[in-house]
Structure 1
Amino acid sequence: MSKRMIAIGFEGSANKIGVGVVTLDGTILSNPRHTYITPPGHGFLPRETAHHHLEHVLPLVKSALTTAGITPDDIDCLCYTKGPGMGAPLQVSAVVVRVLSQLWKKPIVGVNHCVAHIEMGRIVTGAVDPVVLYVSGGNTQVIAYSEGRYRIFGETIDIAVGNCLDRFARVLTLSNDPSPGYNIEQLAKKGEKFIDLPYAVKGMDVSFSGILSFVETTAEEKLKSNECTPADLCYSLQETLFAMLVEITERAMAHCDAKDVLIVGGVGCNERLQEMMRIMCSERGGRLYSTDDRYCIDNGAMIAYTGLLAYAHGLSTPLEESTFTQRFRTDEVHAVWREKESINNNANS
């Protein structure tokens, strides 16, 4: 009986620090994380976020190993988020992995954060070859796999959809616990009046900064005069943003002749976005694949699993190249494991 391959993964690209232990078949042995939560009305700054990650990373490593019931000797490789993300928080994972690699004598695998979301979504939901909508605080992309890479068909040309929601939550001084986007979602359920907001779709690209400016101004004017409620504004903002996302996803599906959609990233937890996308998919004879906050939200398991896929196909990152970058495009990654998967599928068909 051959030994199962195990990886430990470190995710710290934004306000969450996570450590996950995963096997090659996608079994998650442990996946603890800790979120840096700021006071209402405030975002999170790189330096303070990095200090938070430094404080919590080693307890998380101990917790991950204990819960998984393994020791460092059982680990085949150490995986970390190479990018994209915020510089200072990314640095924490990179440094920790370098140190542990030398202490434990284990190889390193640098992982693209976006690709990790996709692979985690695929293994958890069973989606084979869907069009992917990746929506988070820092990213908004419509993606499909083709010839060894995840190709970006459309994306935001300014701010990400999660950033738009987070910044509006600050205007309303909503709590950041558990997340501003979640609290907007709950408030939106109470909205009764729809307020027209700008709708900015350009082909398969979207723009959110103008909508944010408009709704901020509208909030300042209409809330004072009691023309609407904060719930109305949250409802209107969600409906507009998500309609845009459904439109560009459907356009990509038509382009790729695909029927299924996988939603990944933190905003992918939103039940209203899932509902709107599910309706569109069913009208096209397809299916929506989505997950809950255990896998949508940044976590160490997604880094461990994607890194282990790469490692199992002969890829690793030399110590001197185990750096991080705030900009790391989804389509820069050669997804060699998908090529092998395609060959196997063709052989079996």
Structure 2
Amino acid sequence: MPTVIGFEGSANKIGIGIVRDGVVLSNPRHTYITPPGQGFIQTDTARHHQKYVLEILRKALDEAKLTSKDIDCVCYTKGPGMGAPLVSVAVVARTVAQLWNVPIIGVNHCIGHIEMGRLVTGSDNPTVLYVSGGNTQVIAYSQKRYRIFGETIDIAIGNCLDRFARILMLSNDPSPGYNIEQMAKKGKKLIDLPYSVKGMDVSFSGILSYIEDCAHKMLKANECTPEDLCFSLQETLFAMLVEITERAMAHCGSDEVLIVGGVGCNERLQEMMAAMAEERGAKVFATDERYCIDNGAMIAQAGWEMFRTGNITPWEETWCTQRYRTDEVEVTWRD
């Protein structure tokens, strides 16, 4: 069975994972963390990845107890993601593939999440809710493609949570969304926020503007606590996501939901989805922070599926793109 190495660096995490026949042999990563109130800038994030990529590569090989001679294929994130971080990691992946004289595969980041989720949870043909810092999509497989049934029409849910964390000056360690989740557990008052579902799509920018206004006015007037705002934001955003996911399940006749992406680690989102699924006689599948947060193993796993079906990227096409739709990829490895 082929042994595949995957390089991921589309956002603020540099990760390298090694996979062989559905077994994750290693999966180290390093996160770029900025001070409270700040997001991560492309150029600074790219410098972080350049600084740590060789250290993470050595760690991945050491943990897997392998050498370069054991690797059959190099995979990297082709997109979507932030331009400078994507390119900085792709350059390393291309160099390594040429030094080791093995084929290279450009992997769609979103499909990496889906294939890792399917592998780890054992879900067969789920309706997928993909929620992360840069993406929000409801996806289902049909006729050699992962079809997008609904998505955000403006910002991603993770971006919405991150920006609200900046307003409250919450720490970015380990992540803004995690710290919002912990504060939300202590919230008691549900503040009425705009609920913006448009057919199968969702919109988060108006909610963000509204709650930012609430934060300035209501906190000053002692009408609520920061914990109440975190609680209210989570409940509203997640209710919207559960609604569009349920509608996609009904359309597809699906009895499985798979939650992937960094926001998919959120226990409250998993709880709300489980309540909906139970009413439908369906099952919810989710992974923990090892695999729902960006990592190299997910790129390796999707690349492994592509490699075994002969889906290699020609050298002249080993570029990166910030916009790479989930439904652009021909899924050669599924019936």
Q: TM over 0.5, yes or no?
A: yes
Q: Please point out which of 7, 11, 18 is paired with 1:10.
A: 7
Aligned length: 335
Identity %: 70
Q: Please point out which of 294, 299, 302 is paired with 1:303.
A: 299
How far 1:318 sits from its partner (Å)? 1.8
> Which amino acid is the alignment partner of residue 15 of structure 1?
N
How far 1:5 sits from its partner (Å)? 1.1
How far 1:320 sits from its partner (Å)? 2.0
Structure 2 CA distance, aligned partners of 1:107 and 1:135? 31
Report the secondary structure of 1:337's partner residue. coil
Structure 1 CA distance, aligned partners of 2:28 and 2:88? 17
Structure 1 CA distance, aligned partners of 2:331 and 2:304? 12
Q: Please point out which of 301, 312, 321 is paired with 1:325.
A: 321
Could you state the TM-score of these two structures normalised by the residue count of structure 1?
0.95
Q: Please point out which of 10, 17, 21 is paired with 2:18.
A: 21
> Which amino acid is the alignment partner of residue 90 of structure 2?
A
Q: Does 1:168 align with 2:164?
A: yes
> Which amino acid is the alignment partner of residue 22 of structure 1?
V
Report the secondary structure of 2:140's partner residue. strand
Report the secondary structure of 2:192's partner residue. coil
- Shifted more, 319-328 versus 33-42: the winner is 319-328
Q: How does 1:29-68 map to 2 (within 5 A)?
A: 29-68=25-64
**Structure 1 residue aligned with 2:111:** 115
**Structure 1 residue aligned with 2:251:** 255
How far 1:174 sits from its partner (Å)? 0.1
**Structure 2 residue aligned with 1:218:** 214
- Shifted more, 92-101 versus 29-38: the winner is 92-101
Q: How does 1:120-159 map to 2 (within 5 A)?
A: 120-159=116-155
How far 1:317 sits from its partner (Å)? 1.0
Structure 2 CA distance, aligned partners of 1:259 and 1:100? 42
Question: Alpha carbon RMSD of aligned pairs, Å?
Answer: 0.5
Q: Please point out which of 270, 274, 278 is paired with 1:274.
A: 270
Structure 1 CA distance, aligned partners of 2:100 and 2:248? 45
Runs of 4+ in 1 over 6 A off after TM superposition: none
How far 1:121 sits from its partner (Å)? 0.1
Task: Name stretches of at least 5 consecutive residues in structure 2 with no aligned partner.
Answer: none
1:116-150 CA distance string (max 9 Å, x none): 10000000000000100000000000000000000
Could you state the TM-score of these two structures normalised by the residue count of structure 2?
0.99
Report the secondary structure of 2:333's partner residue. helix
Structure 1 CA distance, aligned partners of 2:316 and 2:127? 35
Q: Does 1:99 align with 2:92?
A: no
Structure 1 CA distance, aligned partners of 2:311 and 2:186? 49
> Which amino acid is the alignment partner of residue 43 of structure 2?
R
Report the secondary structure of 2:11's partner residue. coil
Report the secondary structure of 2:330's partner residue. coil
1:180-208 CA distance string (max 9 Å, x none): 00000000000001100000001110000
